[in-house]
Amino acid sequence: MPLYREKQLQEISQHFQIYGQILHAEACKIGHINETYTATYNQGGVLVRYIHQKINQTVFKNPVAVMDNIMRVTTHIWGKLTAQEVPEVTRRVLTIVPTRDGKPFYQGSDGEYWRTFVFIEKVQSFESVHLPAQAYEAGKAFGLFQSLLSDLGGARLHETIPDFHNTRKRFAALQKAIAEDRCNRAASAAREIEFARKQEPWIGLLLDAHASGKIPERITHNDTKFNNVMLDWESGHATCVLDLDTVMPGLVHYDFGDMVRTTTSPTMEDEEDLAKVEMQMPMFESLARGYLSTAGSFLTPAEKSYLAFSGKLITFTIGIRFLTDYLLGDTYFRVHRPHHNLDRCRTQFKLVQSIAEQEEAMQKLVDSV
């Protein structure tokens, strides 16, 4: 870590209710969006870790609204778990460390927003699923997350990224990026562009079902990648769901669909060898059973009827987001190599094809659970 950043973190840390001396901090390489550090403190001779994170204001235009959502959601989950006498609550929901003046964030003189979380120990995350048991835990964790928030009262949560999973608008943005071709990249993505355009007839199915009142709005996570679930080192069971910036009103299918995308293929989302990319039915079965074990109690029959389809839709939606960002010059997602976003897009589109081939069998399995 550069010395200047170390000094900056030392200054920032003093604004939070942390009692102890910061010893060192390390940058976390996971995640595409925010700037994240793991900091170690000496508190009375005991080493304690915290997460310091700078909110990306290019992506999240209203950090105050983001933090308001996170505070409401974590407070509600904390209260329900405590009432249920669930052990180790601080390992099962993110704990926000307030600033010295009681706020959930600190805004520096440069206008940047910082927040701090208690570091959850003895857990790990994975970029991809290796075992059906892990897929089960992922489904169970996000199903429980939705279930715990199904009775959250008060005003509607803020939309931290409006139309985040609105596939029609994502498709329109792609069309605009293709037409402008500001970085002269459309020719290198010709096959992907052609594939995307062929899928247009079905991209509004969920939006239409919601608009007609067939499926209800819920509070959803909206970024249910497998690496946003922390698994206990010893038991392998899910403990906590991370990355709550996109928690907002949505459809349960946004969450389930992204779980299908990130847990049922044996590869990471930027796999370059497309021959390895496929939707594995044993993984899907474990995922669906895990999800329905915790979410099944509040889902309507209509919601269940779209679960298999949601995997195809959300994978396609993420794919066109990667493609759009590639055409725009990689302005949203962090890239670590040339054509990284195009590689990500190709992986998603290959998975869309695999899901489409098995969609009927997938839904039959859901109906049987």
- 345, burial (CB in 10 Å: exposed 0-12, middle 13-18, buried 19+): buried
Query: What is the rounded distance in angstroms from the CA atom of residue 261 to the CA atom of residue 310?
Result: 9
pLDDT of 69 strictly over 80: yes
26 versus 64: which is more confidently predicted? 64
Residue 107: strand, helix, or coil: strand
Query: What is the rounded distance in angstroms from the CA atom of residue 263 to the CA atom of residue 287?
Result: 8
Q: What are phi and psi of 168, to 5 degrees?
A: -60, -45
pLDDT of 180 strictly over 90: yes
Mean pLDDT of the chain: 94
pTM over 0.85: yes
Q: Which sign, positive or negative, has the C-alpha torsion 219, 222, 226, 227?
A: negative
pLDDT of 198 strictly over 70: yes
pLDDT of 21 strictly over 70: yes
Query: Which residue has 């939006």 as its token pair?
Result: 207
pLDDT given at position 296? 95
pLDDT of 2 strictly over 70: no
Q: What digits encode the pLDDT tens for the residues 332-354? A: 888 999 999 999 999 999 999 99
pLDDT given at position 32? 59
pLDDT given at position 271? 94
pLDDT of 6 strictly over 90: no
Domains and CATH numbers, the chain: 3-121 (3.30.200.20), 132-368 (3.90.1200.10)
Query: What is the rounded distance in angstroms from the CA atom of residue 143 to the CA atom of residue 256?
Result: 8
| Chain center to CA of 2 | 29
Percent above pLDDT 70 for the chain: 98
Arithmetic mean of pLDDT, 311-338: 95
Query: What is the rounded distance in angstroms from the CA atom of residue 288 to the CA atom of residue 282?
Result: 10
Confidence of residue 31 (pLDDT cuts 50, 70, 90): low
Question: For the chain, first and last CA: distance in Å?
Answer: 49
Helix pair angle (167-180, 307-328), 10° resolution: 30
pLDDT of 4 strictly over 60: no
pLDDT of 90 strictly over 90: yes
Arithmetic mean of pLDDT, 139-144: 98
Q: What digits encode the pLDDT tens for the residues 214-273? A: 999 999 999 999 999 999 999 999 999 999 999 999 999 999 999 999 999 988 889 999
Which H or E element spans position 192?
helix 190-198
pLDDT given at position 33? 75
In this predicted structure, which of 20-24, 104-108, 363-367 has the lowest mean pLDDT?
Answer: 20-24
- Of residues 86, 65, 216, the one with CA closest to residue 150: 216
Arithmetic mean of pLDDT, 171-192: 98
Q: What digits encode the pLDDT tens for the residues 260-313? A: 999 999 888 899 999 999 999 999 999 999 999 999 999 999 999 999 999 999
